[in-house]
């Protein structure tokens, strides 16, 4: 949930993560991190960093039995506080590799079938055929790089990429929500052939304008002035949840739109809100409030901190959403999503970012 670094190097890490994904998808094998190569501009160098083993886990046997008893089975991917990437098989608590090298950023995104991640502020298409990385920098400004495991890539102006359930890539530009559409666009619209699973020509067009935000939100939140959109996440192919700011930083609301119509709103005036994230089925929404993660339902009714856990860094769900994993500075908890009293198991490991894949992993 916490913001990742957004320097030029993030884009390079995203590309390298995708190249690793290509190898994994071709060979069906898990990726084992080694020394990472980072690129800035046209220069590149390999950073040789001493590797070290995975974090120790106290009380492993009892924890493993507890995880098995509540039906937790799959692979927990994580980066530790040094941004080293790991995979932990559950319920057995077995590390899938024994060494890893620190990266420049800790945030990552896993494709739907797991395997190799994209590093940085990144997202994957639900089909796994496209990834997108926010490569915004103080030098070049807002930019996104969309990539395919086939090797195709395209960079364009925008920030905060998000995929709709049908695979449409959306992004934020000039305070509005845009999309790469296959529908009707103006003659002047930018057109690009996206080469994911298929080659499809798409055009960039506004999906939710500042005028629409003003018209929809002003009657519900009169104190919100000159609304601009800063983030978006899709609950399904029709429903998008957006983070909107007004003229001042204190004017903040979370709003849900379905087919362009306002369905729910949560005023968060005075709160520092960021990092919207949806659960796999769109049942839950998580958002960071000044560093603490809160969970909402589709009507933007809050269930409070997940499992009653304080100081949550990140949250991850299995596809069926029967539980959630939340990471703090000291532990990863298995909880019931949306239930403040639903804390189940505590795994004593510190994680900067986490991801979850059902079932097992292959050895590196």
Distance CA 151, CA 195 (A): 9
Q: Is the peptide bond before 91 cis (omega within 30 degrees of 0)?
A: yes
Burial class (CB in 10 A: 0-12, 13-18, 19+), 133: buried
Predicted confidence at residue 310, as pLDDT, reads 87
Predicted confidence at residue 360, as pLDDT, reads 55
What are the two backbone dihedrals, phi and then psi, of residue 122, each rounded to the nearest 5 degrees? -130, 160
Bridging pattern class, strands 314-316 and 324-327: antiparallel
Residue 301 scores a pLDDT above 80: yes
363/290: higher pLDDT: 290
Distance CA 127, CA 112 (A): 7
Least Cα distance to 159 among 139, 175, 180 occurs for 175
Q: What percent of the chain has pLDDT over 70?
A: 84
Predicted confidence at residue 300, as pLDDT, reads 97
Banded pLDDT at 22 (limits 50, 70, 90): very low
Residue 26 scores a pLDDT above 70: no
The position carrying tokens 């941004």 is: 83
Residue 235 scores a pLDDT above 60: yes
Q: Mean pLDDT for the chain?
A: 85
Host H or E run for residue 181? strand 176-181
Task: Give the mean pLDDT of 175-201.
Answer: 93
For the ranges 38-52, 96-110, 184-198, 221-235, the maximum mean pLDDT occurs at 221-235
Task: Give the mean pLDDT of 229-253.
Answer: 95
The answer to whether 162 and 234 have CB atoms below 8 angstroms apart is: yes
Q: What is the pLDDT of residues 304-317, one digit of tens each?
A: 888 889 889 899 99
Q: What is the pTM of this model?
A: 0.84
């Amino acid at each position: 949930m916490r913001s990742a670094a957004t320097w030029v190097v993030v884009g390079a890490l995203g590309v390298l993560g995708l190249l690793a994904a290509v190898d994994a998808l071709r060979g069906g094998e898990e990726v084992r991190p080694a020394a990472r190569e980072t690129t800035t501009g046209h220069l590149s160098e390999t950073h040789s960093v001493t590797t070290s083993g995975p974090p120790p886990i106290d009380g492993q046997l009892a924890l493993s039995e507890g995880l098995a008893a509540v039906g937790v089975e799959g692979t927990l991917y994580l980066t530790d506080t040094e941004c080293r990437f790991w995979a932990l098989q559950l319920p057995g608590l077995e590390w899938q590799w024994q060494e890893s090298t620190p990266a420049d950023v800790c945030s990552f995104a896993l494709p739907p079938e797991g395997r190799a991640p994209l590093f940085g502020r990144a997202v994957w298409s639900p089909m796994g055929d496209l990834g997108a990385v926010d490569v915004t920098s103080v030098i070049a400004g807002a930019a996104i790089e969309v990539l395919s495991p086939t090797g195709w890539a395209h960079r364009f102006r925008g920030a905060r990429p998000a995929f709709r359930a049908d695979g449409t890539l959306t992004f934020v530009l000039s305070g509005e929500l845009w999309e790469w559409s296959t529908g009707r666009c103006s003659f002047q619209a930018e057109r690009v052939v996206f080469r994911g699973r298929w080659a499809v020509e798409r055009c960039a067009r506004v999906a939710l304008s500042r005028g629409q935000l003003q018209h929809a939100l002003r009657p519900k939140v009169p104190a919100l002035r000159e609304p601009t959109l800063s983030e978006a996440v899709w609950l399904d192919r029709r429903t998008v949840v957006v983070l909107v700011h007004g003229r001042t930083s204190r004017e903040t609301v979370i709003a849900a739109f379905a087919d362009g119509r306002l369905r729910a709103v949560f005023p968060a005036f005075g709160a520092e809100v960021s990092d919207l994230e949806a659960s796999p089925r769109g049942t839950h929404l998580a958002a960071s409030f000044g560093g603490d993660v809160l969970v909402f339902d589709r009507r933007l009714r809050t269930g409070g901190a997940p499992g009653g856990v304080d100081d949550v860094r990140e949250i991850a769900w299995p596809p069926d959403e029967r539980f959630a994993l939340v990471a703090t500075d000291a532990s990863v908890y298995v909880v019931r999503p949306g239930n403040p009293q639903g804390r189940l198991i505590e795994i004593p490991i510190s994680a900067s970012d986490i991801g979850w894949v059902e079932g097992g992993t292959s050895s590196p």
